[in-house]
Amino acid sequence: MDEAGLMGSAQALYVLKAADSIMISGKTLVALRKSEDIERITSFLNRIGQHPHLLFTMLEFRDIADDRVAKFSNTKPDDHILEDMSGFEFELSQIPYRAEKTPASVFVEEAIKKHCDNIIVVSSGSNTLFRTDLASTLAAESPIPVLVVQQ
Amino acid sequence: MTRDIFDVTDNVCLITGASSGLGVIMAEGLAEAGARVVLAARRLDKLREVSDSLKSKGYRAEAVKCDVTDEMEVRSTIESVIRNYGSLDMLVNNAGTTAVSPTADLQVNDWKGVLDANLTGVFLCCKYALKQMMTQKRGKIVNISSVYGLMADISLELPYYTSKAGIVGLTRQLALELASHNVQVNSIAPGFFPSEMTEPIIMNVDSLAYTLSRIPMKRIGMPQELKGVIRFLGSRASDYITGQVIVVDGGWSLW
């Protein structure tokens, strides 16, 4: 497990790799980039034997622009993705997002509002052109510990 | 009574690419200010939805099918505007497209398709509009470029960047050519706004996080934030401004 240097107001950033082990307790907000992240994160947590209370949270883009400009719609994760969640207490929610602030700050506000102890997010990986992604911006902005699961 | 220098009442404005995205908002901005707007695009059904929506609010709008890559269609569209309205006060060249691909895999047809729509289309619309504007001894041409016409970024859209940079050059050169005819040619370079083109970037939270990390205001542009600048460039308030690029990007291009 790498514990990265801290930037900004972040208290802790843990970058978790396949063989890592860590105790994750309390309520955890899962910042979902897409519904596939649910499977990645739950399989990782199963592998390390941790079952915190999970708040799966997605952004909902419908209000970004009116329909004449472009249609922005994303749906909640399919039910089949949520079928194999035995052992987990979880909730699923979508936050209306109007692009007036960064995605990271929206997730952080939600985590604070819901009294979460941790935030988990999947990184976009090293094979991408994006040197900045949701995981890195969350790590920079969050006062709550951020656990980054590498793809 | 002195006419407001920002007034565009009764001006005849032709807006290409007006069936969706920023074209809709710019057309609405001009129509709200009293202009008579002619909406042009390839998708007539979508155009009619936009013009019906504007007309339902009491604005004056007409939908005309026009593919800006087709010289004959461009010519007949502009001739019909002049025939029906008696003048052409403003041309907004907004139609555009993109092709996303690593350059090594980019097909020449995709390259040509973007350059044809984004750059040759601007040339064709200008070519047929400026004859009327020179005759009138007044006119406003606004070419919609992009911050990507001014700087590089990680998005794999070489023909788009190239075409938008080309629009900046076209704007400057045409502005010089038409300056003595009282026709002002300017460009708007929007930063990151919601549109059909940016929808995949916005819906990908990682790419959105990256993009917002580059924008000092930490938010994307609201389409309504283009209304002021398009009205300004269509009005007498901009009569002594030509060949310029007005960047509307939340500070993105500052660094």
**pLDDT tens, residue by residue, A70-92:** 888 877 777 777 777 888 899 99
Distance from CA of B149 to the nearest CA of A (A): 20
Q: Does B199 contact A at CB distance below 8 Å? A: yes
Specify the number of domains making up chain B.
1
What is the model's pTM? 0.89
Handedness of CA B104, B106, B109, B114 (dihedral sign): negative
pLDDT at B226 over 90: yes
Residue B31 pLDDT grade (very low, low, confident, very high; cuts 50, 70, 90): very high
**pLDDT digit string, tens, across residues A56-73:** 999 999 888 888 888 888
Is residue B3 domain-resident?
A: no
Distance from CA of A54 to the nearest CA of B (A): 20
Distance from CA of B116 to the nearest CA of A (A): 23
Structure tokens at B250: 């939340």
Average pLDDT over residues B97-120: 97
Average pLDDT over residues B108-134: 98
Q: Does A74 contact B at CB distance below 8 Å? A: yes
Say yes or no for a CB contact (<8 Å) between A134 and B205.
yes
Number of neighbouring beta carbons within 10 Å of residue B166: 19
**pLDDT digit string, tens, across residues B35-85:** 999 999 999 999 999 999 999 999 999 999 999 999 999 999 999 999 999
Question: In sequence order, what DSSP letters do the residues of A69-113 get, joined into one string?
Answer: T------PPPHHHHHS-TT--EEEEEEE--SSS-HHHHHHHHHHH
ipTM: 0.83
Q: Which domain holds residue B91?
A: 12-195+222-250
Residues 6+ apart with CB under 8 A from B150: B165, B168, B189, B245, B247, B253
- Residue with more model confidence, A56 or A132: A56
Is residue B203 domain-resident?
A: no
Say yes or no for a CB contact (<8 Å) between A102 and B213.
yes
For residue B117, the number of C-alpha atoms closer than 13 Å in the C-beta half-sphere is: 19
Say yes or no for a CB contact (<8 Å) between A130 and B49.
no
Integer Cα distance of B77 and B73 in angstroms? 6
**pLDDT digit string, tens, across residues A92-128:** 999 999 888 999 999 999 999 999 999 999 988 765 5
Say yes or no for a CB contact (<8 Å) between A137 and B223.
no
pLDDT at B2 over 90: no
Quick one: pLDDT at residue A9?
40
Find out whether B16 and A34 touch, Cβ atoms under 8 Å: no
Quick one: pLDDT at residue A17?
60
Q: Which CATH number fits domain A2-149: 1.10.3470, 3.40.50, 2.60.40, 4.10.860?
A: 3.40.50
Is residue B75 domain-resident?
A: yes
A2-3 vs A13-16, strand pairing mode: antiparallel
Distance from CA of A94 to the nearest CA of B (A): 14
Q: Report the b/e string of B56-74 with b at 16+ CB within 10 A.
A: eeebbbbbbbbbbbeeebb
Q: Does A21 contact B at CB distance below 8 Å? A: no
Helix or strand or coil: residue A125?
Answer: coil
**pLDDT digit string, tens, across residues A18-67:** 556 678 888 999 999 998 899 889 988 888 888 999 999 999 998 888 88
| CATH code, B137 | 3.40.50.720
Structure tokens at B255: 């660094």
Helix or strand or coil: residue B132?
Answer: helix
Ordered by start, the domain boundaries in chain A are 2-149
Mutant choice from A57, A60, A69 vs B, greatest count of B C-beta within 10 A = A69
Average pLDDT over residues B128-144: 98
Q: Does A70 contact B at CB distance below 8 Å? A: yes
Integer Cα distance of B196 and B208 in angstroms? 15
What is the total residue count of chain B? Answer: 255
Is residue B216 domain-resident?
A: no
Among chain A residues, the shortest Cα distance to B222 is held by A65
Q: Does B47 contact A at CB distance below 8 Å? A: no
Integer Cα distance of B129 and B242 in angstroms? 17
Residue A3 pLDDT grade (very low, low, confident, very high; cuts 50, 70, 90): very low
Write the DSSP symbol of residue B243: S
Say yes or no for a CB contact (<8 Å) between A65 and B194.
yes
Say yes or no for a CB contact (<8 Å) between B210 and A59.
no
Integer Cα distance of B70 and B78 in angstroms? 12
